[in-house]
Amino acid sequence: MRKPSAAAPSRKRKAPSQTAATAVEPAMDVAVGGRIRDLRRERKLSLETVAAQTELSIGFLSQIERGLSSPSLRVLATLADVLGVGIAALFGTSPGGDAASDAVVTRGAQRPELKLWRTGVSKQLLSAAGADNKLNLFLVHLEPRGSTGDELYTHDGEEAGLVLEGEMILTVDAETWSLKTGDSFRFASRRPHRFSNPADDANAVVLWVNCVT
């Protein structure tokens, strides 16, 4: 399991707005935690084993599974790696649910969403949900000053994307880029990376592809 890398110091940012934080978000935390618990149990992994492989505490993992803590995208990517799935498997229907992993069409009104409301990042799954899917398409929304955090992180696979609205700051390894509407990117997910919206008053929207290798 790869350890998240430390990022270079960055200028102080305002915390993402939490005016949208409602009872919906805790319910979403419970749903995501339940999927993580189900996947862990399907793989017959104990909390102690997952804690050792992720370098997260058993208490923190237990809180995530019970919906008492809202994990960051970095933490979710780390957990998805240990569970042997792409991050898309953590939202949509639960393992063993009714969604077919070979579904061709996903209707706009049926998009599963994973909203990391404490960090100002949300991801809508545009492709069909399924724990075994290798290629997943997302619509990522970044609130003003929304960010994956100051730490660089890694996970399995490859990713690419296109900025549809606003601006995104992308760091991969030791290099940082400012991407504006129409700019695109691609990199191996095992390279340490992070991203954020530098704007104080505008959202950013990114079409994002993740491929699990």
> From CA 2, how far away is CA 68, in angstroms rounded?
26
Per-residue confidence (pLDDT) for residue 116, from 0 to 100: 81
* Residue 7 within a domain: no
User: Is 5 part of a structural domain of the chain?
Assistant: no
Average pLDDT, the chain: 84
Q: Looking at the predicted structure, is the pLDDT value of residue 141 above 50?
A: yes
Residue 12: inside a domain: no
State the CATH number of the domain containing residue 29: 2.60.120.10
CA separation for the pair 106, 168 (Å, rounded): 26
Question: What contacts 39, CB < 8 A, 6 or more positions away?
Answer: 83, 85, 89, 90, 95, 131
In a domain, 196, yes or no: yes
Closest-CA residue to 97 (of 116, 112, 84, 107): 112
Task: Report which of residues 156 and 91 the model is more confident about.
Answer: 156
Q: What would you measure as the largest C-alpha separation in the chain, in angstroms?
A: 46
Give the total number of structural domains in the chain: 1
Q: Do the domain assignments include residue 9?
A: no
Higher-confidence residue of 77 and 8: namely: 77
Amino acid at 67: G
Q: Looking at residue 89, what is its pLDDT?
A: 86
Residue that wins the pLDDT comparison between 178 and 5: 178
Give the model's pLDDT for residue 25: 59
96: pLDDT confidence band, cut at 50, 70 and 90?
very low
DSSP count for the chain of H helices, then E strands: 4, 9
Tell me the CA distances in angstroms from 86 to 11, 76, 96, 116, one per residue in order. 31, 10, 16, 17
CA atoms of 134 and 203, how far apart (whole Å): 29
Query: Does the residue 168 lie in any domain?
Result: yes
Positive or negative torsion for Cα 47, 210, 25, 4: positive
How far apart are alpha carbons 172 and 132 in whole angstroms?
27
- Residue 50: per-residue pLDDT: 96
For residue 199, what are the domain limits?
A: 24-97+104-211
How are strands ordered across the β-sheet holding 135-142? 113-116, 121-125, 135-142, 204-211, 158-165, 184-188
Query: Quick check: is 18 in a domain?
Result: no
Q: What is residue 190's predicted lDDT score, i.e. its pLDDT?
A: 95
In a domain, 190, yes or no: yes
Give the mean pLDDT of 48-63.
95
